[in-house]
Amino acid sequence: MIRRYTYGTPLPTDAVVKQLNTEPGAPDCLTVSKSTDGTVLSFPLPEEAMLFGLGEQLHGINKRGHLYRSWNSDDPQHTESKSSLYASHNLLLYAGPKRSFGLFVDDPGEVVWDLGYTRMDTAVITVAGGGFDLYVITPEENEGLPLTAMCREFRGLIGRSYVPPRWAMGYLQSRWGYASEEDLVTVARGHRDKHIPLDGICMDIDYMERFKDFTWNREAFPDLPGLCECLKTQHIRVIPIIDAGVKAEEGYDVFDEGEEKGFFCKREDGKDFVTAVWPGESRLPDFFRPDVRAWFGEKYHRLLDAGAEGFWNDMNEPALFYTPEGLRRAYETADALRGALTEYDSSFKLSGAFNALANSPEDYRSFYHTVGDRTVRHDRVHNLYGALMTKAAAEGFAAYRAEKRYLLFSRSSYIGAHRCGGIWMGDNCSWWSHILLHLKMLPSLNMAGFLYCGADLGGFTANTTEDLLERWLQLGVFTPLMRNHSAQHTREQEIYRFSIWEMMRGTLSVRYALIPYLYSELMLSALTDGLYFRPLAFDFPEDRTACHVEDQLMLGTQCMIAPVYEQNAVGRHVYLPCDMLMVRFRTAEDYDMEPIAQGHHWIELKLNEFLLFIRRGCFIPLARPAEYTEAVTTERLRLLGWLNPGEKSTLRFYEDDGVTTQVSLRENEREITIDVGGAVQCDGSVCDTAGLVR
């Protein structure tokens, strides 16, 4: 059951697709009050209570004990002292000893979540803006596990998650620095020569002509359509980046048109808001206007015409490197301090003035959007900007070819954008702790509707190491978006460059063999409002140990993952909430299986080994691996599982063409059944049951 409560006059956010009537009165699970900081929602946190959700955020799967801020931020230091990342997903689930409930605060401005930070026994949520909708979710009796049931209800409210083309489940290679046709060809050849699987190459800003959106450097890419076509014959897709900021340069048609039509964000005096991002002086399209979205979305057609089949939208928090006003303020501080660095903190003031140039709160308060017939100051709707850029792109694709799925993932987002694209987790570091951070964010993102997501494998900033990349790939095997991406000037991290590339190739072979299963689980999650990744607490709420596991995840209906995320580890501790078949993979063809009983286990793991657990009574299909997704077929499947004697076991299995936007459970779902006598029924595939433990 979901109830809507309205405070003040909310702005439209497009987050929900079901219009609920506003309830009179107040919700019974929390106290609502006013403070100088905004509207305050508070509720007690008994000792046993757990909190889940908040999508892309730092800290644990259980969010209790920290302070979080919904304020989309371009901050490449994902450390424990931070309270925001690039996205705001205002869904929080409370699982207490006596009751469970969920809250969705539909406000695109700042929201502060003090979840047992100021006082361990109290949650205080402060919504800064003047009006918002609060949705309170309560689990219905007999709807199964309460946390999963609440997520399903919520997803019904916010609409169906984006589904990528099937090829986007393949391995993608990216790097900030691929600057020419030659660079892309080298990457393709590096993979294909060594038979390392690959389905796509991302082009970062270097492909553009001086960082201008929807252009490409004609010298470095003399024939982009020819290049895309050539790579496509090798089953490799090209995925360009698009940034939110449009370079201010007369003669550049996107800028000229935007100026002429008045499509860029304005300051209070009606003049364009001027900022700077990668292209230098830039303008920000006002994505809140449908006509601006249509205009910007149509620009993607140029690259689609050239053969691109996917995009990543970046810098859309929006990131502001500086503004002229910010520069003026910084120079004023510097001038005031000139010759007067007398106090111990004078130099901090000086450096602080310049460090504060980027993403300054003052700048975010100095421009406006047209929201319907209202003019709204940016900070009031800040967290929606990236989501609306994603929407512009998705609408652009639909206008181009409505029947075809395109890959789209964004850095910034808000709930609602989950219907248009996926997300990646931004500029992580080549740190071991970031493998774990990546794992912890996955289920929370799924709760908010973002199913197609992943982090930069190997780490974006800092230099990766061979073992770090290998262990990170072992987690990436299971994440829908599986992309290796790194920053310029860091150690190059394409698999083929490392001494252990054959080991990494073996790891990728497991991904490709699992694609039919992983794609099926992703599609089933999208089409049934389910969760592809879940905390163990969702499936085993009565098991206190399972509830507090922070480094393992349930995957799909049948599986659990427990990756290694520590350097030089020779194994790891795993907690099994029930009996499971442990599959220890080295490659798709080299693995061993062992039935393991519920409880605590220490599992030895060499660097090339990683684990997948399958619940007892279930099984999953494994296909023959290949070097690209189209070659992974379901003609022959090996079934892996541990069956209960005398019990029938069934797998819901979804398969479609992976390309068209018309997706239907009814037409594309089938069942693979192993009946009590041991016979397998599986239309359309030959099943090898040598992987079944009975």
Give the residues lining the site for ligand GLC (CB under 6 A): 176, 204-205, 241, 314, 411, 426-427, 485
- Structure token digits, residue 365: 């308060």
Give how far Cα 188 sits from Cα of 184, 227, 240, 490, 495, Å.
Answer: 6, 11, 15, 20, 12
Give how far Cα 404 sits from Cα of 52, 165, 520, 525, Å.
Answer: 35, 8, 19, 20
CB of 204 to ligand GLC, least distance (A): 5
| Separation CA 393–CA 569 (nearest Å) | 43
CB of 54 to ligand GLC, least distance (A): 20
Residues paired with 101 in a beta bridge: 94
Q: Whose Cβ is closer to ligand GLC: residue 321's or residue 400's? A: 321
CB of 208 to ligand GLC, least distance (A): 10
Assess contact for 470 and 608: CB atoms under 8 A: yes
Q: Whose Cβ is closer to ligand GLC: residue 363's or residue 427's? A: 427
Q: Whose Cβ is closer to ligand GLC: residue 134's or residue 244's? A: 244
| Separation CA 152–CA 149 (nearest Å) | 5
Residues paired with 283 in a beta bridge: 246
Q: Which helix (H) or strand (E) holds 613?
A: strand 610-615
Give how far Cα 440 sits from Cα of 53, 56, 75, 433, Å.
Answer: 10, 9, 19, 11
- Structure token digits, residue 425: 């987790």
| Separation CA 485–CA 458 (nearest Å) | 7
The vertex-181 CA angle with 177 and 183, nearest 5°, equals 45
| Separation CA 55–CA 451 (nearest Å) | 11
Q: Whose Cβ is closer to ligand GLC: residue 126's or residue 316's? A: 316
- Structure token digits, residue 87: 């996205």
Q: Whose Cβ is closer to ligand GLC: residue 284's or residue 626's? A: 284
Q: Whose Cβ is closer to ligand GLC: residue 278's or residue 653's? A: 278
CB of 427 to ligand GLC, least distance (A): 5
Q: Which helix (H) or strand (E) holds 636?
A: strand 636-642
Q: Whose Cβ is closer to ligand GLC: residue 240's or residue 556's? A: 240
Instruction: Map residue 72 onto helix, strand or coil.
Output: coil
Instruction: Map residue 309 onto helix, strand or coil.
Output: coil
Residue nearest to ligand GLC (CB): 176
Q: Whose Cβ is closer to ligand GLC: residue 208's or residue 371's? A: 208
CB of 279 to ligand GLC, least distance (A): 11
Give Cβ neighbours of residue 501 (< 8 Å, ≥ 6 apart). 194, 196, 495
CB of 130 to ligand GLC, least distance (A): 32
Looking at 284-421, which runs of residues are DSSP E strands?
310-314, 368-371, 374-377, 407-410, 413-414
Best CA proximity match to 558, nearest among 674, 389, 390, 394 = 674
CB of 206 to ligand GLC, least distance (A): 8
Q: Whose Cβ is closer to ligand GLC: residue 316's or residue 323's? A: 316
CB atoms within 10 A of CB 684: 11
Q: Whose Cβ is closer to ligand GLC: residue 85's or residue 522's? A: 85
Q: Whose Cβ is closer to ligand GLC: residue 220's or residue 510's? A: 220
Residue with tokens 């201010």: 248
CB of 423 to ligand GLC, least distance (A): 11
CB of 466 to ligand GLC, least distance (A): 22
CB of 180 to ligand GLC, least distance (A): 16
CB of 570 to ligand GLC, least distance (A): 33
Looking at 501-590, which runs of residues are DSSP E strands?
533-534, 553-555, 559-561, 571-576, 580-585
| Separation CA 369–CA 379 (nearest Å) | 10
CB of 282 to ligand GLC, least distance (A): 14
CB of 146 to ligand GLC, least distance (A): 36
Q: Which helix (H) or strand (E) holds 5?
A: strand 2-7
Q: Whose Cβ is closer to ligand GLC: residue 204's or residue 656's? A: 204
The answer to whether the peptide bond before residue 595 is cis (omega within 30 degrees of 0) is no
Half-sphere exposure of 352 (CA within 13 A, CB side): 7
DSSP 123-144: EEEEE-SS-EEEEEE-PPTTSS
Which stretches within 159-267 are classed as H helix?
Answer: 181-193, 224-233, 253-261
Q: Whose Cβ is closer to ligand GLC: residue 74's or residue 551's? A: 74
| Separation CA 575–CA 462 (nearest Å) | 32
Q: Whose Cβ is closer to ligand GLC: residue 416's or residue 459's? A: 459
Q: Whose Cβ is closer to ligand GLC: residue 76's or residue 361's? A: 76
| Separation CA 430–CA 470 (nearest Å) | 12
CB of 358 to ligand GLC, least distance (A): 12
CB of 266 to ligand GLC, least distance (A): 26
Residue with tokens 């910010």: 326
Assess contact for 494 and 173: CB atoms under 8 A: yes
